[in-house]
Structure 1
Amino acid sequence: MDHLVEKTIRKEKIFSGKVVQLYVEDVQLPNGKTSKREVIKHPGAVAIIPITKEGKLVLVRQYRKALERVLVEIPAGKLEKGEEPLATAQRELEEETGCRAQSMRHIVSFYTSPGFADELIHLYMAEGLEKLEDAVSLDEDEFVDILEVTLEEALEMLEKREIYDAKTAYALQYLQLRRVLGEENA
């Protein structure tokens, strides 16, 4: 066993919502002392880097209540119970952009805030987008505007803090790195 592991002594569910559950845990620290941890359990999510046939990035503008502002982001959404991440990515791409991808591949998975949450985001690249004739509808409480921008325009939005979330910043850095390495069409 790793010498850094914290042993859970007691776990109490404080809140259970439609997206997250909040627990307060009493833990035994590696030095034998005890402490409390607040932990958010999340079902996991996907995020998609959608690239049009013209090489543009498809983004969504949406209001984020936690921040009380509109943000520009890559399409994303939470995993439904029993749903595989690839299926979630395909569904979310269709719902949020009205497009289907000719190819979709997994890039990386990462934890968003491991200090207090177990949310794991699976990032996918979606290329060869085709508009759906019969658009799939968004969730009833979801409202978005769709933008098609160049990488340069997206990076400018990042500088202006129109793009302000980690998954989208991560995606833009990934695209920039691909460009620098000459792998844009890889």
Structure 2
Amino acid sequence: MPFQPHPSWAALIEDEQQPWRTLSSRELIGPPRRVWEDRVQVRPGVQTTYQYHPRGHQAIFVLPVTDAGDIVLIRQYRYPLRATITEIVAGGVEAGEQLLDAAARELKEEVGGVATEWVALPGFYPQPSINGVVFFPMLALGVSLGEMAHEDTETIERLTLPLAEAYAMLERGEIQSGSSSLVMWQARAELVRRGLL
């Protein structure tokens, strides 16, 4: 069966009608992590200044599951936290790259994985009050593992666990990446439906 985007993905676009009007806009920080400051009119007589990362950036999240019924997570050092945390595979979508191609690339790079089947999960906005990025999660099934190809700036350890054990970690609050936790919860029904969990 060919890959099908999740129905929710179609709704993750800008509204045609905007209730706020932009009065002025300036870029505070340039690429790659742009920050803009806008002066906006919320309604007649009410204005505010808003600092944010603009819309347009997309990222993919991949929850890999092997034929043996194991989940493949990563332990990654996150400099802003000064901590190593458990996450699922994730990364940015490069300019002109299709979402499924980005997911396959990140799966290969971060855990050395190749999937035989992909299932789209509901997309979401991780920090909509300050960030316009859109996340597109996918379940990767039939994953076989090989050599990883980490970037020089990544400190990643591959962690392969039985699905039940990984979900017990989630329930105990041991997976503290909010996006990773949400993707795992969204994938749960599909994993149960397939008899994997």
Smaller-chain TM-score range? Answer: 0.7 to 0.9
2:52 is matched with which residue?
Answer: 39
2: distance between equivalents of 1:55 and 1:183? 11
1:52 is matched with which residue?
Answer: 66
- Cα deviation code 1:134-171 (max 9, x no counterpart): x3521121121011112332233335543111221112
Q: Cα 1:184–1:107, aligned 2, differ >3 Å: closer, same or farther?
A: farther
1:118 is matched with which residue?
Answer: 132
2: distance between equivalents of 1:28 and 1:14? 20
SS of the equivalent of 2:140 reads strand
1:172 offset after TM fit, Å? Answer: 2.1
Query: Do the aligned partners of 2:71 and 2:160 also contact (CA within 8 Å) in 1?
Result: yes
AA partner of residue 7 (structure 1): R
1:164 is matched with which residue?
Answer: 176
SS of the equivalent of 2:115 reads strand
Query: Do the aligned partners of 1:112 and 1:121 also contact (CA within 8 Å) in 2?
Result: yes
1:64 is matched with which residue?
Answer: 78
- Cα deviation code 1:84-141 (max 9, x no counterpart): 1111100000000111101123222111111110111110111111233xx3521121
AA partner of residue 97 (structure 2): E
* Aligned partner of 1:96 among 98, 110, 118: 110
Matched, 1:24 2:24: no
Percent identity reads: 26
In the alignment of these two chains, the number of paired residues is 180
Root-mean-square deviation (CA, aligned residues, Å) is: 2.0
- Cα deviation code 1:27-64 (max 9, x no counterpart): 00124311011111362100001001111110000011
1:17 offset after TM fit, Å? Answer: 3.5
2: distance between equivalents of 1:170 and 1:56? 19
Written as runs of structure 1 = structure 2, the 5 A alignment for 1:5-24 is 5-18=19-32, 20-24=33-37
The two structures have a TM-score, normalised by structure 2, of 0.83
AA partner of residue 69 (structure 1): A
Query: Do the aligned partners of 1:175 and 1:184 also contact (CA within 8 Å) in 2?
Result: no
Query: Do the aligned partners of 1:102 and 1:128 also contact (CA within 8 Å) in 2?
Result: yes
**Runs of 5+ in structure 2 lacking a partner?**
1-15
SS of the equivalent of 1:170 reads helix
2: distance between equivalents of 1:173 and 1:40? 27
AA partner of residue 53 (structure 2): I
AA partner of residue 61 (structure 1): R
AA partner of residue 42 (structure 2): L
AA partner of residue 174 (structure 1): Q
The two structures have a TM-score, normalised by structure 1, of 0.87
2: distance between equivalents of 1:31 and 1:184? 56
1: distance between equivalents of 2:145 and 2:168? 26
Matched, 1:107 2:121: yes
